[in-house]
A = this chain, B = another copy of it.
Amino acid sequence: MKRREFLKKTGISAAAVASATIAAPTVWAKEKTYQWKMVTTWPPNLPILQTGAERFAKRVEIATNGRIKIHVFAAGELVPALEVFDAVSSGTVEVGSGAGYYWAGKVPAAQWFSAVPFGFNPQGINSWFYSGGGLELWEETYAPFNLVPRPQGNTGVQMGGWFRKQMNTIDDFKGLKMRIPGLGGKVVAKAGGTVVLLPGGEIFTSLERGVIDATEWVGPLHDLRMGFYQAAKYYYYPGWHEPSTCLEVIFNKKVYDDLPADLKTILDAIAMETNLWSLSEFEASNGAALQELITKHKVELVRFPEELLNKLRVMAEEVLEEEANKDAMSRKVHEAYKTFKKQVGIWGTVADKAYFDLIADKYSLKA
């Protein structure tokens, strides 16, 4: 019950209540309230990504009993997608939601906190963030930009993309026009491809008309909604370029640092909750969507040939080294990423991979 309602209902004086309170086992807190704006890089209603940002805001409001209210704006509603970083950094708005690779031009090291080709799987990246020093490095990377980052979601292992022709050898990338962002795009460019950047709304038409030969997007749930199966025949896996794409929530550092410890903890906990929730949602939805693509839309599901993947992996290592040379922070992050990956790699093989080998034969890839 709010104090003013309490006073109204009981009719007793504020002074009497206050003096009674001193002896009673209750806490009277004068609590500041906050009205924040959150801008995102996602289109309105984009499942799990934009709806995840909205879920975060709603849960924070409930958990803080209204002390923090966050009004969420999708890409373009207040600022364009790629201006989210600057809007939060400058304090124009208090919160943002996006992914680190969008800021690669400004902060090369940010790429390691979103998607690394042939990098961690979701369990590995979360372990690095929360138990391997990854989040501290991320904070260090964003601090000069007045930002505090937190993982807010994970797409899981993505699909390799939609191709209008079969990909048999690494040479098939030569001259291939593909929409693929981030470090994965740099690897495709190294393989001889032409990397095309397109807004989400223009990808389908470009693919259908042959302006591009291939595109990656997210995974079955989102790819199905985009209708790519009508424009390209082959659906390749696995998503070597984005094996655990992390979505981020970023707070203006001054705003975050000035909060009392309880509110900071609530924001951190709800961000971590949303991170796990989003991976759970992807896992729950992608199976049925993939089944529909195969069964109803007769999509041809194809695994990239081993030899092609091995060549991409060598190129990915070269790209990462080149990027790591861009500045000291990138080098520091890259080395830490590699070290932790080596540390957990053996365990993933013995535990998770061996278990997958055991259960996977129960699930056929065809209907």
Interface, chain A (partner B; CB < 8 A): 1-4, 6-7, 13-15, 17-19, 21-22, 25-33, 59, 62-67, 118, 121-124, 126-132, 156-159, 219-220, 237-240, 243, 260-262, 265-266, 268-270, 272-273, 275-277, 279-281, 283-288, 290-291, 301, 303, 309, 313, 340, 342-360, 362-365
Contacts and interface: CB of A to CB of B under 8 A. Distances in A.
Contacts of A268: 273
A156 B157 CA distance: 18
Given A239-B355, A273-B272, A265 B63 contact: yes
Contact of A272 (B30, B262, B272): B272
A272 B59 CA distance: 13
Copies of this chain assembled into the complex: 2
Contacts of A129: 280
Contacts of A15: 13-15
Nearest to A357: B353
Contacts of A2: 27-29
Nearest to A284: B131
A194 B99 CA distance: 53
A288 B343 contact: yes
A66 to B, nearest CB: 7
Contacts of A343: 284, 287-288
- Nearest 4 interchain pairs by C-beta: A3-B28, A14-B18, A345-B363, A127-B283
A365 B280 CA distance: 30
A347 B220 contact: yes
Contacts of A262: 62-65
Point out which of A18, A276, A350 has the most chain B C-beta atoms below 10 A from its C-beta: A350
B273 A354 contact: no
Contacts of A365: 346, 349-350
Nearest to A219: B351
Given A272-B272, A348-B356, 9 more contacts: A2-B27, A14-B17, A65-B262, A123-B279, A157-B355, A158-B351, A238-B354, A276-B276, A283-B347
A114 to B, nearest CB: 17
A61 B353 CA distance: 38
Given A237-B350, A284-B132, A348-B363, A118 B29 contact: no
